[in-house]
Amino acid sequence: MMRWCARCAYDGTSFYGWQSQIGGNTIQDLIEARLEQIFHHPVRIHGSGRTDAGVHAKDQVFHFDAFWNYGIPAFLRALRSGLPSGIQIWGIYPVDDTFHARYSVRWKRYIYYVYEGFPSPFQSRYVYGIGTRRLSLELLKDFGPSLVGTHDFTAFGASREAPQEDPVKTVRRLEFIREGARVEMIIEATGYLYKMVRRIAGAAIEVALGRLTSEEVLKAFFHRERTEKIVTAPAKGLFLDYVSYAEGTYQDISRPGCY
């Protein structure tokens, strides 16, 4: 048996998220079904983390154990050939058996995309369009820096969070960048609560629209209060952009052109 690390991208629109569930149609279920076709026995994969239904990924990482002796190019072709067009495996390579796609992660980067206007049919699945409204990034000047660092993020966690989940997370980067009509929220952290990124994005959008103040959101944040004022932004604007591991963990390859 060998341990393999694979990196994939997917359009989450038509899938029920990453994690396996009854009824299938998750990214994990579909990849595992293809691996079972290749090896003629069940193969369990372990991802770097979950993404919800409708959330996309440019760089999801997973590992699994299997014996393959026909070369990496043939392995990659075999795995790609039986997957839906919305899932693309763009790298696979052997790793040490101590590597774990989830527990070896140093940090992960997500990007949330907001579009000021009405996105075209070729964009609408991948951005949150806000119509004629406009975002003021000036109103967010205190928002991002206040969340960077090690804090209790209970205010941005969903109510279904497991009781044993530690709400203390370390955010190493949170910034907002305007690219024409598109505004990107970039967040890097060592860990995330369930729906934490989408709730931070939702709060930031409300602040940037002038419907909430930074002070209101930060008061709830520092008092660890979940409030209905903090909404969860739609899934379609969110991408898992990059997963970082220790240098030399696996061969780093250039990603193909992604959105």
Q: Which of 52, 59, 65, 252 is catalytic?
A: 52
Neighbours of 67 (CB within 10 A): 7
At 153 the pLDDT is 97
- In whole angstroms, give the CA distance from residue 26 to residue 5: 19
At 258 the pLDDT is 40
At 259 the pLDDT is 34
Residues of the chain whose pLDDT is less than 50?
Answer: 257-259
Domains of the chain: 2-103 (3.30.70.580), 107-240 (3.30.70.660)
At 247 the pLDDT is 72
CA distances from 167 to 152, 162, 172, 182, 213 (A): 5, 10, 16, 31, 24
CA distances from 37 to 79, 85, 253 (A): 9, 17, 27
At 243 the pLDDT is 95
At 23 the pLDDT is 82
At 246 the pLDDT is 83
Question: Does the annotation count 52 as an active-site position?
Answer: yes
At 252 the pLDDT is 53
